Chain A
Amino acid sequence: MMSNETNLNFNEPRRIALLLADRAVHALPDEEVAELTALLARHPETDDTEIDEAAAALHLAKPVLPESMPSRLRARLFVHAENFVFEKEMASETMSASSEKMAALHEVAAEPHIQSAALPIAHAATSTDSSASSRQLDVSDSLAETAEVLAFPSASSKLGQSRRTVSQTTSSGPKPRVDIFGRMGWLAAAACLAIAFAGVRESRQLQKQVVALKAEKAPPDYLALRKAMLSQGNALKPVDWTPTAYPGMQTVSGDVVWSDAKQEGYMRFVGLPANDPRQQVYQLWIFAANQEETHPVDGGVFNVNANGEVIIPITAKLFVERPSLFAITIEKPGGVVVSKRDKLALIAKGV
């Protein structure tokens, strides 16, 4: 896949299109990633997501059965969702805290008697009880420090310097009240709330996780779904499986039903031998009117691990119209793209 661009000497937008088409379906090797990066830098007008979107749209065009995610995965995602929201909100609060803090500091700096930041609560600043004002300064200091660390760590040294200046000012007697704590105190309050909020959030996350795990429900009832589809009258009538001469299939019975309108169907088997998925799997092929006979539609692989009646939903890889034949082959683990049809187990002729 190495580029021979200098030898071939073709137009760069065309080369970009080819590389993007490759990238849309499989990861590019490092050298092509570098080549594409350089080409896109030279052609900033190019939208490098359009062919990805084409591949995505094509993928969505494939009819499939809805597939719900495991409940444990859903619970995991909700935990991460909470974390994402929390981090986003904290980042937002930090930014607004920083901007308001700076605005408050600017206001303080503008006061004629105060060179810079924090004073204690207003009434303590005017009190003649120097010890009381000192204690309150200690309390406000610790809360303000907490606010700093959580909201704007880089300003902590600046605030500390300002606080020392203020304490000297306070001890010299009553000064004009500057409600700095009224401005800074909200930071402390916000800090306390943030700490408490974090604890509540963590608890809530765990609660949600437990609830989600407890809410595990039974897997889909494919027998009921099949019956419902048959009762709606928009599906083919079930067609019976006919065993082939393949060993073990002679006593197998059951049927297959398919709906063109819904692009879904169900296979029912009775007595189909269990398979060892490490050795082989069953694979369905659908011969449809809208596909060439040499290219049956892959209906998916499945395993059978129990005797008795088994209902398997059909997952056709392409659009199926008027299926004329359903065939079950036995293939290697994971299935195949093209079947040699040398292990044909069951067939069912469509209507």
Chain B
Amino acid sequence: MAYAVATNQLFGGGATRVAVTRRLDERERMTEGNIKPKSAGQTAANILPRIAAGERTAVQECIDTYGGLVWSLARKLSPTSSEAEDAVQEIFIDLWKSAARYDGARSSETTWVAMIARRRLIDRRRAAQRAPVLSEISDVMLETIPDPVRRYDQLIEASGEAALAAKAMQQLKPTQQVVLQMAVYQGMTHPEIAQATGIPLGTVKTFVRRGLIHIRRALGVRTVDAASFTEEEVQA
């Protein structure tokens, strides 16, 4: 089996340290050395505040800037292209309506957009009760026009969180990376990952939960320490 693992390597020492979930303010971030590259995020499009302020052109600019990103996410996490299109429509309406809730001091606009998109896609998936299929490249070759304003890769560069997340991901063991990849990129549930890989369900839960908490800490926000969870807690 490709993903056979040594279970005793995967669990933390069962430390009992408890940390209250809270957000760090900027001074604490700098003091602790977890400096979030806010300048990178804040040089991005800054479209959502303008939508919240009622600027007409910003709404359309939002489509031009984030259309590719949202479409890529929808394609990955939707079972069909037509459902992906419906999802994209709902996501943009969510974005416009929630534009006032975006706080540029805590995350880049790109990350916020991706978060809103993922939430909607996860909710839609639950409603559809279907698993996403991998996108077919042949479909991508049809009926598209290039994004007029920003390339996807430029948006990712502007999202400082993505670089931090990538670095944090590299700190995880390869098997955990693969499991986290299946959960985040492909939207697979814990049982689906366990079935696909042969990894025990409890281990899959541990990998995903601890992995995400680890990445959240890497983004500079203090939360419960991933290593402090007992095996019993994480697999519940």
Interface of A with B (CB < 8 Å)?
Answer: 3-4, 8, 10-11, 13-18, 21-27, 43, 45-47, 49-74, 76-78, 80-81, 84-85, 88-89, 92, 215-217, 219-220, 222, 277, 281, 291-292, 294-295, 300-303, 305, 312-313, 315, 317-319, 333-338
| Chain B window 202-224, contacts with chain A (Cβ cutoff 8 Å), 1 for yes, 0 for no | 00000011001101100101011
Q: Which of A43, A66, A302 has the most CB of B within 10 A?
A: A66
> Residue B18 contacts which of A11, A16, A21, A51 (CB distance < 8 angstroms)?
A11
**Which chain B positions have C-beta within 8 A of A27?**
122-123, 125-126
CB–CB B212/A55 < 8 A? yes
A14, A46, A222, A291: residue with the most chain B Cβ atoms closer than 10 Å = A14
- Does the CB pair A295–B143 fall under 8 Å? no
Residue of A49, A57, A336 with highest tally of chain B CB at under 10 A? A57
List 7 A–B pairs whose Cβ atoms lie within 8 Å, in order of A's numbering. A10-B233, A25-B187, A56-B118, A57-B114, A61-B156, A77-B88, A85-B56
Q: Are B223 and A26 in contact (CB under 8 A)?
A: no
**Is residue B227 contacting chain A, with contact meaning CB distance below 8 A?**
no
- A295: chain B residues at CB < 8 Å are 2-3, 174-175, 178
Bound-complex Cα distance A182 to B221 (A): 58
The residues of A that contact B188 with a CB separation of less than 8 Å are 26, 337
From known contacts A68-B68, A220-B144, A318-B177, infer whether A46 and B21 are also in contact, taking CB-CB under 8 Å: yes
Chain A positions within 8 Å of B151 at CB level:
66
A-B interface contact total, Cβ < 8 Å: 290
Q: Of residues 48 to 96 in B, which have CB atoms within 8 Å of A's CB atoms?
A: 54, 56, 59-60, 62-63, 67-73, 75, 81, 85, 88-89, 92-93, 96
Count residues on chain B whose CB falls below 8 Å from chain A CBs.
105
Q: Which residues of B contact A55 (CB under 8 A)?
A: 115, 118, 184, 212, 215
Interface: B27 (CB within 8 A): no
Would B143 and A70 count as touching, CB distance under 8 A? yes
Q: How far is the CB of A294 from chain B (nearest CB, A)?
A: 5
Q: Do B136 and A59 touch (CB < 8 A)?
A: no
In the bound complex, residues from chain B placing their C-beta under 8 Å from that of A61 are 156, 162-163, 165-166, 169
Which B residues are closer than 8 A to A by beta carbons? 2-3, 18-23, 54, 56, 59-60, 62-63, 67-73, 75, 81, 85, 88-89, 92-93, 96-97, 106-107, 110-112, 114-115, 117-119, 122-123, 125-126, 133-138, 140-147, 151-153, 155-156, 159, 161-166, 169, 174-175, 177-178, 180-190, 196-197, 208-209, 212-213, 215-216, 219, 221, 223-224, 228-230, 232-234, 236
- Find out whether the CB atom of B144 lies under 8 angstroms from the CB atom of A51: no
**Residue from the list A10, A54, A281, A333 in contact with B215, Cβ < 8 A:** A54
5 closest Cβ pairs, A-B complex = A27-B126, A57-B161, A61-B166, A69-B71, A56-B114
- For B133, what are the chain A residues with a Cβ–Cβ distance below 8 Å? 333-335
Closest to A264 in B: B153
Q: Tell me, in angstroms, the Cα distance from A335 to B67 when the chains sit together.
A: 26
Contact of A14 with B233 in the complex, beta carbons under 8 Å: yes
Query: Known contacts A81-B60, A313-B137: does B71 contact A16 (CB below 8 Å)?
Result: no
In the complex, chain B residues whose CB is within 8 Å of the CB of A219: 141-144
Whether A338 contacts B185 in the complex (CB less than 8 A), given A27-B125, A60-B162, A68-B71, comes out as no
Asked if A18 contacts B165 (CB within 8 A), the reply is no
Q: Do A319 and B215 touch (CB < 8 A)?
A: no
- Of the residues A22, A58, A277, A333, contact of B169 by C-beta under 8 Å: A58
Q: Given A45-B22, A58-B184, are A220 and B141 neighbors across the interface (CB < 8 Å)?
A: yes
Contact of B2 among A77, A78, A294 (CB under 8 A): A294
Given A14-B229, A18-B236, the answer on whether A51 and B166 have CB atoms closer than 8 Å is no
* Known interface pairs A24-B212, A220-B144, A295-B2; A80-B92 also in contact (CB < 8 Å): yes
**Chain B nearest CB: distance from A99 CB in Å?**
17
